[in-house]
Amino acid sequence: MATTVSDGGQDANRYRAAQLGLTRLLVRDVRGLRRLILPSRLRESIPDWMTVMQAVIDQYARTSAALGAEFYDGQREAAGVPGSFTVPVADPPPEGKTESGLRWATKDVWDREPEQATEAQQQPLAVRLEQAEKKAEQVAQKLVADTGRATVIDAVRADRQATAWARSAALGACAFCKMIASRGAVFAQDTVRFEAHDGCHCGVIPVFRGQRFEPSPHAAEWARLYQEHAAGHPGSQLAHFRRALAEHDPNPLPGAF
Ligand SMILES: [Zn+2]
């Protein structure tokens, strides 16, 4: 029985890489769908584009959930947990959630009265479409990644043999994700909330009964930097931590995954 589990190491990295690979395919598909938006017929073509986007996001979300379930099974087996357990695979995002995300992504595409238009809304249509497409990529990525994360979190909640979960952040994750990942397996079994932002590739690591959580060397270093430079300091602790990372963290800063 594996008695320790970590946010780092081969399993966590491989799982994050699988979800990241899925994201890359998703973004490629989302870019290809851009051609469905006809600049001369926005009112007619954007709803069609949204319908197709919804279907693509659902499909990728199902794959993300399947990867999450497979990862959970593997971790459970590696931990030598007795008894069988069937991972409740999370559903793709509800229709309304995807729709509102895509509406947000395309909100600046519509023509406005010049006096009411923001700077973004005054740009040429081609620029606004470009921005909308980028936002749609972010919306799609988060919805898909969240489905995989929800699958692991739901499994932890349903599995009597699971006790907690930890966040696994990449070496190049942002300060926010590193800050939370540095806390280790502090998310009790019934914690539902996973705070993610667009472009977040963090994973969820289940912890099982009898296992001891051991932070990866990089998470331990983030925790040390946080304690030394942010904890208890006046002002925004995240801002202090971000500065400490910029100065002391040997790993690539945001931008790299
Ligand atoms: Zn993250």
- The total of other beta-carbon atoms located within 10 Å of residue 232's CB is 7
Q: According to the model, what pLDDT value does residue 2 have?
A: 61
Q: How far is the CA of 175 from the centre of ligand 1 (A)?
A: 9
Asked, for residue 36, whether it belongs to a domain, the answer is yes
* pLDDT greater than 60 at residue 257: no
Question: What's the gap in Å between 179 CA and the centre of ligand 1?
Answer: 10
- pLDDT tens per residue, range 2-28: 689 999 889 999 999 999 999 999 999
* Position 194 pLDDT exceeds 90: no
Distance from the alpha carbon of residue 14 to the mean position of ligand 1, in angstroms: 16
Please indicate, yes or no, if residue 174 is contained in any of the structural domains.
yes
CA of 85 to the centre of ligand 1 (A): 28
Give 123 Cα–ligand 1 centroid separation in angstroms: 31
Q: Does 254 fall in a domain?
A: no
Whether 256 is in a domain gets the answer no
What's the pLDDT score for residue 75? Answer: 95
| Residues 125-155: tens digit of each pLDDT | 999 999 999 999 999 999 999 999 999 999 9
Q: How far is the CA of 181 from the centre of ligand 1 (A)?
A: 9
Domain count, the chain: 1
User: What confidence category does residue 198 fall into, taking pLDDT thresholds of 50, 70 and 90?
Assistant: confident
Over residues 81-102, mean pLDDT:
94
119 found inside a domain: yes
Contacts of 47 (CB under 8 A, 6+ apart): none
Cα of 82 vs centre of ligand 1, distance in Å, is 32
CA of 65 to the centre of ligand 1 (A): 17
**Ligand 1 centre distance from Cα of residue 167 (Å):** 9
Residue 257 lies in a domain: no
Alpha-helix residue ranges (DSSP H) falling in the chain: 10-33, 42-78, 95-105, 125-158, 175-181, 217-229, 237-248
Check residue 253 and give its pLDDT. 60
- Supply the pLDDT for residue 256: 41
Vertex 34 angle, CA 28 and 35, to 5°: 120
Which pLDDT score is estimated for 172? Answer: 85
* CA 52 to centroid of ligand 1, rounded, Å: 27
List 213's β-bridge partners, or say none. 5
Q: Ligand 1 mean position to 63 CA, how many Å?
A: 20
- Of the candidates 182, 185, 178, 177, which has an alpha carbon nearest to the alpha carbon of residue 213? 185
